[in-house]
């Protein structure tokens, strides 16, 4: 585990040297302790290690008493939308974004999907994660899996006027990203 993987706007590092399941658990516990979060939405990208890192994060969040809504494979914007839509206390996306294979990370937001960066609490979460061990809460949080994208799709459709669109022929290549599912 390496505190250097906490950047100005997110957490990123090589897996497992800098970022691993142990750090993800500690980030989960620290997030709840620092933010007082009761409900946290968690999503992940399609990198091979993302499921195990997300599950470790969820274990950390629930061990401190937070309930988790696991939305599964998604784009980062879905975590932001879901955090607002479900009025969660925070959201965490497990992703290394544009970084190459071998890297992973996390993007954190608070209520109303307000970004958590170095100047708004990310380093306080880092300090808790690397500080004294955070004891479990008296209540273990619950996990609910909810990958239903209907509300997100309805929201996206409010951004366009489908009547104004002319008929289109669309070719899509989702590549190796989460756009496929």
Query: Which sequence positions are flagged as catalytic?
Result: 97
CA angle 47, 49, 52 (to 5 degrees): 130
The Cα-based distances of 102 to 21, 73, 111, 177 in angstroms read 14, 18, 31, 15
At residue 14, the 3 state secondary structure works out as strand
The Cα-based distances of 63 to 13, 75, 100, 108 in angstroms read 24, 26, 31, 18
For CA atoms 99, 89, 71, 154, give the dihedral sign.
negative
Pairwise CA distance, residues 14 & 5, whole Å: 8
């Amino acid at each position: 585990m390496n505190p250097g993987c906490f950047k100005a706007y997110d957490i990123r590092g090589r897996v497992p040297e800098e970022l691993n399941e142990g750090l993800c658990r500690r980030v989960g516990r620290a997030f709840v302790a620092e933010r007082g979060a009761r409900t946290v939405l968690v999503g992940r990208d399609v990198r091979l290690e993302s499921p195990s890192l997300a599950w470790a994060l969820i274990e950390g969040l629930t061990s401190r008493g937070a309930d988790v809504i696991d939305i599964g494979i998604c784009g980062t914007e879905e975590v932001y939308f879901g955090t607002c839509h479900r009025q969660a206390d925070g959201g965490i996306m497990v992703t290394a974004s544009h970084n190459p294979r071998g890297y992973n990370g996390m993007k954190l937001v608070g209520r109303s999907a307000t970004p958590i960066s170095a100047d708004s609490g990310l380093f306080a979460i880092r300090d808790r994660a690397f500080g004294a061990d955070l004891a479990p809460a008296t209540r273990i949080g619950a996990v609910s899996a909810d990958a239903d994208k209907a509300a997100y799709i309805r929201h996206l459709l409010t951004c366009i006027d489908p009547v104004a669109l002319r008929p289109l022929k669309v070719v899509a290549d989702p590549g190796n990203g989460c756009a496929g599912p």
